[in-house]
């Protein structure tokens, strides 16, 4: 039986209420004979990253589809294809653009896999970064509209797993990806015995998700480790898109405020329960779709206006280009506005388009799309997305 007392859980070390301070860290290639300078990370959560000479790989929305996530990471050359979930990217930098949550059954397993790869990558002189999307912020808000029944089950399993685990949060969390399939198989056997409409089990899953993702909860604190806007070298990564007023507000300030909210550090009596400029509204960082609109649907003056806004944003950040997810691209990953914006959400999850995975590779400041050879599935499988 699942206990719902947070005091019994191995919480992330960073979940303890404390003032967030700016941090700077670096890690270098552990191999001998390399001339690459170490990666330097500034901000808490990471906001500015200097990764000299590194290959950068960006992966879009994953939406709880572990199989597609693994396939995309294998295509990117950062994950082994032997099922051992080993980092094969050497000193590369991987950036995942958010929306790991909702529409799929294996959300926590994907988060666990990405954390495991980050640990392995750092040992090789590489790194893994994630940015939070609108579905991450929705779940911390308690908005579970797009949660699949299997994802509620995963939350119940994971909470029970944490209560049974004898070690610290970091080890437990990293191990989850490897054991989640066993828990899922055992649950399916149990469900066959008790029947598919077990309301007690469903209620347990909803409560478990609320415990895990509420501000200050274990998985909300895990998400709090990630930014909503991240600059790696001369490239900006975010889920929806940055606008000039976001930059004027300060992306490091936004990142800290979102992190504090997720950690439950914002006072309950404050008038602002969450950082709206980053997480709420059509023009917030995680919801903005301005740069992802189909240019063929726009008039020339609209195209010029959007390009002017984009260039103003990039100039203020000292960036070459921006990479976004959030809006599925029916034609695959692509760039617009003289390749100042790259749109790489291809709807790869079976809960969205179930399309072939694609990833963006940046080498020597030049970008290209890596596509699989597998045929695209029917786009008629698309569901209403948000």
Nearest to 187 by CA among 224, 225, 149: 149
Contact at 8 Å (CB) between 246 and 254? yes
DSSP string for 155-167: HHHHHHHHHH--S
Answer yes or no: 135 catalytic. Answer: yes
* Token representation of residue 9: 């859980």
Contact at 8 Å (CB) between 23 and 43? yes
Residue 367, beta-bridge partner list: 362
CA distances to 92, 156, 237 from 38, rounded to whole Å, are 12, 40, 20
SS3 state of residue 48: strand
Q: Tell me the CA end-to-end span of the chain in Å, nearest whole number.
A: 34
In the set 63, 135, 226, 246, the catalytic residue is 135
Contact at 8 Å (CB) between 358 and 369? yes
What number of CA atoms fall less than 13 Å from residue 101's CA on the CB side?
27
Catalytic residues: 135
């Amino acid at each position: 039986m699942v206990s719902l007392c947070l005091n019994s859980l191995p919480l992330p070390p960073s979940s303890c209420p404390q003032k967030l301070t700016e941090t700077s860290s670096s890690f270098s290639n552990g191999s001998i004979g390399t001339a690459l300078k170490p990666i330097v990370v500034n901000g808490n959560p990471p906001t500015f990253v200097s990764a000299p000479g590194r290959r950068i790989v960006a992966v879009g929305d994953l939406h709880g589809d572990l199989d597609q996530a693994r396939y995309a990471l294998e295509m990117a050359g950062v994950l082994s294809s032997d099922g051992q979930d080993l980092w094969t990217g050497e000193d590369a930098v991987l950036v995942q653009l958010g929306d790991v949550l909702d529409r799929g059954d294996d959300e926590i397993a994907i988060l666990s896999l990405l954390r495991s790869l980050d640990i392995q990558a750092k040992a090789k002189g590489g790194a893994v970064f994630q940015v939070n999307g609108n579905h991450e912020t929705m779940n911390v808000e308690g908005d579970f509209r797009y949660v699949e029944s299997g994802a509620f089950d995963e939350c119940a399993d994971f909470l029970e797993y944490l209560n049974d685990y004898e070690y610290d949060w970091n080890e437990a969390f990293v191990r989850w990806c490897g054991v989640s399939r066993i828990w899922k198989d055992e649950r399916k056997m149990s469900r066959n015995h008790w029947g598919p409409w077990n309301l007690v089990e469903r209620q347990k899953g909803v409560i478990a998700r609320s415990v895990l993702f509420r501000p200050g909860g274990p998985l909300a604190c895990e998400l709090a480790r990630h930014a909503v806007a991240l600059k790696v070298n001369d490239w900006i990564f975010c889920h929806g898109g940055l606008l000039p007023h976001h930059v004027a507000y300060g992306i490091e300030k936004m990142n800290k405020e979102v992190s504090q909210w997720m950690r439950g550090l914002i006072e309950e009596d404050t008038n602002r329960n969450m950082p709206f400029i980053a997480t709420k509204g059509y023009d917030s960082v995680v919801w903005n779709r301005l740069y992802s609109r189909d240019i063929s649907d726009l008039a020339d003056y609209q195209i010029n206006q959007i390009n002017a806004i984009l260039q103003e944003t990039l100039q203020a950040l000292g960036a070459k280009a921006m990479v976004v997810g959030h809006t599925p691209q029916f034609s695959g990953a692509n760039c617009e506005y003289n390749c100042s914006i790259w749109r790489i959400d291809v709807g790869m999850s079976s809960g969205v388009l179930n399309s072939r995975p694609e990833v963006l590779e940046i080498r020597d400041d030049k970008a290209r799309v890596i596509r699989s050879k597998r045929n695209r599935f029917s786009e008629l499988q698309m569901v209403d997305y948000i």
